[in-house]
């Protein structure tokens, strides 16, 4: 009798939402490696493609206690899928706490350039602050703010020596206490995690190729990312994020930094080599210039990708709305 038939009789159960694979992505972004630029793009992409962008308000807590790790993993794992979670946090092993291990992505850059960018950014901010007469890190004492970078390095101030300089590797090594100690153990564990848990670790100096590969590997998240990035309005926005008052240390100081960061460089070159192998596999050419003799090799060039926007300022959403209203 037709009158008694239900929707289920005629149509079967309502269709389930088909999730893309992977549907759980974590971008545990490394500070001063273009992450603010990428997060701006992700905001636009999440609206365009309908994935759940989960960001964190915590910007300065990368190391977590065991209970904090469990809590964060639980919170991330219960987010609506497909999600992309992003935060400055050292690698978290979800499977250790019984969760599904998500796919990780990240971007790193030349370690000395990253350090210099951070050193001057902490003191003077970027062009937006300059225009608004804002001072970065208001609590910083004047003598510290104007501390000459060469003095800091040559006289071994804490900010310019280990363990502060051992910065990139812990993002890939993880939460183990030994991950904070500059050495082979942390380096090898970081490489292992890159191989086993990271879909892609890109190089900021080749950001357009990073975006191309992300678009290819994770289309549900990154489709059209390159055209959005190349949009002249977005480029204009990026120019406001260049760190100001950046000066180049002396050759002697740079050589000392290089020695102190030898593990960081070994990791950086390893990641760069893997990234270039991946590019070749997908037909992207790497324009490998002959390395210039040190120390000029470390001097930031005008071709560098723009600085990321600082994570503590959230006023960029307003600009995005204005720029991308269609």
Spot the catalytic one: 49, 88, 220, 276: 88
Cα–Cα nearest to 39, from 50, 27, 22: 27
CA 182 from chain centre, in angstroms, equals 21
Cα–Cα distance, 106 to 86 (Å, whole number): 10
Cα–Cα distance, 220 to 82 (Å, whole number): 9
Active site residue 176: no
In the chain, count H helices and then E strands: 16, 5
Question: How many other β-carbons are positioned within 10 Å of the β-carbon of residue 277?
Answer: 10
DSSP state string for 179-214: GGS-SHHHHHHHHHHHHHHEEEEEEGGGHHHHHHHH
Cα–Cα nearest to 193, from 261, 271, 266: 271
- Residue 283 tokens, joined: 């037909």
Residues with catalytic function? 88
């Amino acid at each position: 009798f037709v009158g008694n038939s239900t929707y289920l009789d005629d149509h079967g159960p309502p269709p389930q939402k088909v999730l893309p694979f992977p549907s759980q992505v974590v971008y545990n972004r490394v500070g001063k490696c273009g992450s603010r630029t990428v997060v701006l793009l992700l905001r636009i992409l999440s609206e365009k493609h309908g994935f759940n962008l989960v960001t964190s308000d915590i910007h300065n807590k990368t190391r977590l206690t065991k209970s904090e790790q469990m809590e964060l993993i639980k919170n991330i794992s219960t987010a609506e899928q497909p999600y992309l979670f992003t935060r400055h946090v050292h690698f978290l092993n979800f499977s250790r706490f019984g969760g599904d291990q998500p796919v990780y992505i990240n971007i790193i850059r030349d370690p000395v350039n990253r350090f210099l960018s951070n050193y001057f950014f902490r003191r003077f901010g970027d062009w937006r602050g300059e225009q608004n007469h804002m001072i970065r890190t208001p609590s910083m004492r004047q003598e510290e703010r104007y501390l000459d970078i060469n003095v800091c390095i040559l006289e071994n101030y804490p900010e310019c020596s280990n363990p502060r300089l051992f910065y990139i590797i812990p993002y890939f090594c993880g939460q183990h206490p030994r991950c904070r100690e500059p050495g082979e153990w942390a380096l090898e564990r970081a490489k292992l995690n890159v191989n086993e848990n990271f879909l892609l670790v890109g190089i900021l100096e080749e950001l357009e190729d990073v975006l191309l590969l992300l678009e290819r590997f994770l289309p549900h998240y990154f489709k059209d990312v390159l055209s959005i990035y190349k949009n002249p309005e977005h480029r204009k926005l990026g120019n406001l994020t260049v760190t100001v008052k950046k000066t180049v240390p002396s050759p002697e100081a740079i050589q000392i930094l290089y020695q102190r960061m030898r593990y960081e460089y070994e990791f950086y070159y390893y990641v760069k080599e893997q990234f270039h192998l991946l590019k070749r596999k997908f037909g992207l050419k790497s324009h490998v210039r002959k390395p210039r003799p040190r120390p000029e090799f470390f001097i930031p060039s005008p071709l560098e990708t723009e600085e990321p926007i600082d994570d503590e300022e959230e006023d960029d959403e307003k600009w995005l709305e204005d720029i991308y209203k269609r």
